[in-house]
Structure 1
Amino acid sequence: MFTGIIEELGTVEAVEQQSDAIRLSIRAATVLEGTGLGDSIAVNGCCLTVVTVDDGVWTADVMQESLDKTSIGDVRPGDVVNLERAVTADKRLGGHIVQGHVDAVGTVVSRTPSEHWEVVELEVPEGLTRYLVDKGSITIDGVSLTVVETRDNRFTVSLIPETLARTTMGRRQPGDRVNLEVDVIAKHVEKLLSSANLLNQQSLDKLMKESKK
């Protein structure tokens, strides 16, 4: 589990193409402190497993499923990426509960600068906005952010200078693809309500059938 608070920007050293996967090599510092083989690190919001660590560079294998469902396959050597280690029980939950399981890939539509912040508008696949509410949480490329406004298949977030400087959100331009993870609580609530509605409908159908006997 993660919190969406980016610890550092890493640099992609190499992308090794394999038959149905890629091996990603990333240079980092902070996230390697106390990190061992098999540990989890979120890269642009995608949870990856550490395979090797050598002289400030760690590697992870990214399978085809992740390449199909995230923007990880877009990265190239020299790109910077958001990095966060899995949270431990003694740490503050500074952002919100983030699983590192990308729900969809969105697209940056526009950036509107202001004196003290910048508003970024994003487009998401149809149906995803049902999980978004104004002032609710959203994870963009691993960054925990607050939704400002939702409409149709778009939403906006406001970025403070700290976020612009310390994450890749300061570099994203219109047309760029980003990883999105909605609040997992919203997904659980939806499933519970769907199950409850199904049970209620089944009970109602049973009563209707009995009343006709």
Structure 2
Amino acid sequence: MFTGIVQAVGTIVDLVDLGSTRRFSVQVPEFVGQLSLGDSVSVDGACLTVAGLVDAGFFVDVIGPTLDRTLAGTYQEGSIVNLERALRMCDGISGHIVQGHVDTVGYLESSIKNGNSWILDFNIPSSVLSETINHGSIALNGVSLTVSELVDERGVRIGVIPHTYEHTNLGRLLPGDPVNVEGDLIGKYVSRIMARRGKPEPTSGL
């Protein structure tokens, strides 16, 4: 589990196809000595397992479904990724609860500078948008963000402060670029409960 507070940005420095998986090596000097084999780490919001440690970084092995459903399938050498170590029981939650289970991929529609901040509009598939509310939470590329408003039932508008823009890969996005999207966990459960109202409770069949 994560909180959507990006702790470092890393660089994909090597990609190797290993049959049904693809191995990514990520260079991130800030994490040296802070990761162990088997740890979970958020890479652009996708929860991946540290399969090995290398000089100034680590590598992960990514399976086909993750490559198909997330940005992982588009990475190249030199790709910049947002990184967050897994939440510990003693840590505070500065963002919101992020599972690292990417729901879908969205796209940046526009980026407008507004004083010293930015207004970013994203197209988001209806499967996530239906569970999203004004001033609720959403994770884009693993970044915990507040929804400023829903835009014409097709996406979300996000206000981004200078620190977030400069210290995550959101500041590198161009219109049309994809982002990993994870909807708010609370919204998912509320949507599920409301959808089942008046329906019989599922049974185990025993």
Instruction: Please tell me whether residue 38 in structure 1 is matched to residue 13 in structure 2.
Output: no
Amino acid at match of 1:94: S
Contact 2:31 2:57 in 1 (8 A): no
Asked if residue 105 in structure 1 is aligned to residue 105 in structure 2, the reply is: yes
Q: Distance in 2 between matches of 1:193 and 1:2?
A: 26
Deviations 1:1-43 (A, max 9, x none): 0000000011111111233221010011233433111000100
2:196 is matched with 195
Bigger Cα displacement from structure 2, 42-51 vs 14-23: 14-23
Kindly report which structure 2 residues correspond to 1:83-98, keeping only aligned pairs within 5 A, or say none.
83-98=83-98
Between the aligned partners of 1:176 and 1:15, the Cα distance in structure 2 is 21
In structure 2, the residue matched to 1:17 is: 17
Q: Deviations over 1:110-166 (max 9, x none)?
A: 101111210011111233211111110000000000001113111110111000110
Q: 1:24-69 CA distances to partner (integer Å, 9 max, x unpaired)?
A: 1001123343311100010000000001102212100010010111
1:197 aligned partner, one-letter code: G
More displaced 10-residue stretch of structure 1: 86-95 or 120-129: 120-129
* Aligned position for 1:205: none
| Mapped pair 1:169 → 2:189 | no
One-letter amino acid of the structure 2 residue matched with residue 143 of structure 1: V
For 1:99 and 1:7, the matched residues in 2 are separated by: 16
Shift of 1:197: 2.5
CA distance in structure 2 between the partners assigned to 1:34 and 1:109 by the alignment: 36
Q: What CA distance in whole angstroms lies between the structure 2 residues aligned with 1:128 and 1:195?
A: 18
1:2-13 aligned at under 5 Å gives the runs 2-13=2-13
The 10-residue stretch of structure 1 (181-190 or 92-101) with the greater mean CA deviation from structure 2 = 181-190
CA contact (8 A) 2:71 2:178 kept: yes
Structure ranking higher in helix proportion: 1
Q: How many residues align?
A: 200
- Root-mean-square deviation over aligned CA pairs: 1.3
Give the partner amino acid of 1:18: L
Q: What is the alpha-carbon distance in structure 2 between the residues aligned to residue 127 and residue 11 of structure 1? A: 31
Paired residue secondary structure (1:199): coil
Partner of 1:67: 67
Runs of 4+ in structure 1 deviating by more than 4 angstroms, as ranges, are none
Q: Which amino acid aligns with 2:159?
A: S
Does structure 1 retain, via aligned residues, the 8 Å contact 2:41–2:47? yes
- Rounded to whole Å, the distance in 1 between the matches of 2:10 and 2:166 is 13
**TM, length-normalised to structure 2:** 0.93
Q: Deviations over 1:70-115 (max 9, x none)?
A: 1111111111110000010111100000000000000111101111
Q: Distance in 2 between matches of 1:29 and 1:87?
A: 20
Give the 3-state SS of the residue equivalent to 1:164 in structure 2: helix
> Which has more radius of gyration?
1
In the alignment, structure 1 segments of 5+ residues that lack a partner are: 201-213
Corresponding residue for residue 184 of structure 2 = 183
Q: Which residue of 1 aligns with 2:153?
A: 152
Q: What is the rounded CA distance, in whole Å, between the counterparts of 1:140 and 1:46 in structure 2? A: 10
Aligned-residue offset at 1:199: 3.3
